[in-house]
Structures are given as C-alpha cells and as structure tokens.
Amino acid sequence: MSIWVDANGWPIPPTVLLGCLVAEILYFRGWQVLVKAEQRRTAGAKTSSVLTGSHTAVYRRNSWICRSIFFLGTIFTFLLASSAPIDILSSRLLWVHMIQHLLLLVVIAPLLVAAAPLLPLWLGLPRWARRLVRLSAILNIGSPFHRLGHWLRQPAVSCVLLIIGTWVWHWPALYDLALTNAAIHDWCEHMTFLAVSVLFWTQVIPSPPLRPRLGYLGRAGCVGIAILQNVILAVLIAFAQVPLYAPYAHLALAPGGLSALQDQQLGAGIMWVFGDLPLVIALVVLLNRWLVSQSDDQEEVNIVKKIESVS
C-alpha cells in the first residue's frame, strides 16, 4: 500500500481539508475587516504621527499582517501533520508518531496563538451567527462557559493540564488504544494535545483579546516547567529496558531496520531535543525581554532622581 494516500485514496483526509478551508475563509474575512480598520486609523493619524512621532496604527496593521503569516503556517503544519505519509508511517514507526505529536504541541499551538485567531474568526462569521452568539450572551446561556474559560486560563491550571494531557496519552495502555482506534487517535489524543498546548501557549504569547496573566519572569517559569516535564518524560521513555508500546513491539523490525527498542529510543531523543527547542527559544526571548524591562525601569528611576535633585 502506498504511503502517499490513505485507504480512501486521499493524501489528506477530506474532513481536515474542509475544516482548514472553512477556517481560512473565516479568518481572512475577519482579517480584512481588521486591516482595513487599521488602514483608516493610519490615514487619520498621519498628521498626528508626524507631530508626535506615534506610529501605533502602522504597527497594529503590520502586526496583523504578521499574524496572517502565522495563521497560514498553522494551516500548513496542521495539513502536514494530518497527511497520509505521516499518519501511515506513525503507525509503523514510533519516532514518526513522536514528530506528529510535537507538531501539535510545540509548532501548531504556538503558531495558532501567535495568529490571534479569535477576533478575525469572530468578524469572519456571518451576521446571523454573531447575533445568535450575542443573544446567548444576553440570555446568560454562555455564562458557565465563560467562567470555565476564565478558570482554565489560570497559569497554574494551564501548566498542570499540559502535563496531564501529555503524560496521560503517553501511558502505554492509552497510547496503545489510540494506535489501534483511529477515532480515539484523531479526536481524543490529538485534540487533547492541541487543546492543552494552545491553553498553555496563551500564557506565553499575547493573542488579542487574550493576554498572558503573568509578567515576563512568571511566563519564563511556566516555560521552564514545560521543558522540565518534557525532559523527564523523554528520559523515562528513552531509558526503558523494553518496548513500552505493544503495536510497535509486535513488529519484528520497523521500517529502516530498526528494532522496536531502537525506534523507541530514537522517538524519545526527538521528543527531548526537538520538543524542547521551541520552548527554549521562548524561554530565551522572555528572559531577554525581562532584562530589557528591568533596565528600562532603572532608567526611569534614574531620571526621576535627577529631576528631584534639580528641583
């Protein structure tokens, strides 16, 4: 059987293609509204920006252009993770399956959060759909969901859910179940990874109208926790003396001539190195911004002291 198409002859499942198409249409429909609004603000603020040196409107417009690139990156990576070659090989090779998981956890999730999709998707909805949502808000139907969302976005809760979601699905019994049941694999395991990772990354990356609830140092602490749990899990898988996952253990030799244990160790190594790479980059950026903010604060203190000494 060819690895380039699935059992139904599709290189990417049609439901995934349709979902991505709808998301793109809604996002860029709303994105156009936002960019046009910023362009009008830019035109109206030209005179004041020349006098005051303010370029806020231009910055906002450019930031939405960058976010559209992040969104396209999200769609492309999601299509790649859902493609037939990765999906088929992930059932034969644990290291390919690990790459698929990492695409969801540390590539797609931060790209999606950086794309700030809530406002564009909301503005991209038809008017009747937005009216329906507003009506539910007036009737207080969505209040429990709002409270739940507020609770889930607490930094401690987001970090704990990331750890639970990642570790539970790497527990051999559930991992094996996901490998032998396509519905559980796609709609439970992968959706759990995507949900908990998006929730976590909203604590790290600003995603209007959502903002991180912690300062730079607090966010760096959250990223440090994510790195630590990833390293511990990767080490446990790498140094296991026997293959942990039955569907791979039953293969005499994995494609490429790897034994099940070698395949497992390679997957753990990929998880360790490439799973930590985006997190380490985020940690460095956050610590750098914290140091810059500290120096800025010190400069302000020095200016105030000079003014006080003169007066």
Distance CA 96, CA 101 (A): 9
**Are 132 and 301 a contacting pair, CB within 8 Å?**
no
**How confident is the model at residue 174, as a pLDDT?**
97
Distance CA 192, CA 77 (A): 17
**How confident is the model at residue 49, as a pLDDT?**
47
**How confident is the model at residue 307, as a pLDDT?**
59
Encoding tokens for residue 275? 């799973």
Backbone angles phi, psi at 206, to 5 degrees: -60, 135
Residue 226 CA to its chain's centroid (Å)? 13
34: exposed, middle or buried (C-beta count within 10 Å: 0-12, 13-18, 19+)? buried
What is the rounded radius of gyration, in angstroms, for the C-alpha atoms of the chain? 23
Tens-level pLDDT at each residue, the chain (311 residues): 588 999 889 999 999 999 999 999 999 999 999 998 888 877 766 545 444 444 555 556 678 889 999 999 999 999 999 999 999 999 999 999 999 999 999 999 999 999 999 999 999 999 999 998 888 777 776 678 788 989 999 999 999 999 999 999 999 999 999 999 999 999 999 999 999 999 999 999 999 999 999 999 999 999 999 999 999 999 999 999 999 999 999 886 777 789 999 999 999 999 999 999 999 999 999 999 999 988 766 665 565 556 556 55
Distance CA 139, CA 306 (A): 56
* Residue entry with tokens 């759909």: 129
**How confident is the model at residue 54, as a pLDDT?**
46
CA distances from 264 to 69, 136, 248, 297 (A): 35, 49, 9, 49
**How confident is the model at residue 62, as a pLDDT?**
73
Encoding tokens for residue 209? 């109208």
**How confident is the model at residue 192, as a pLDDT?**
97
Which residues have a Cβ under 8 Å from the Cβ of 227 and sit 6 or more positions away?
276, 279, 280, 283
**How confident is the model at residue 297, as a pLDDT?**
60
Phi/psi zone of residue 48: left (φ > 0), alpha (ψ -120 to 50 degrees), beta? alpha
**How confident is the model at residue 32, as a pLDDT?**
94
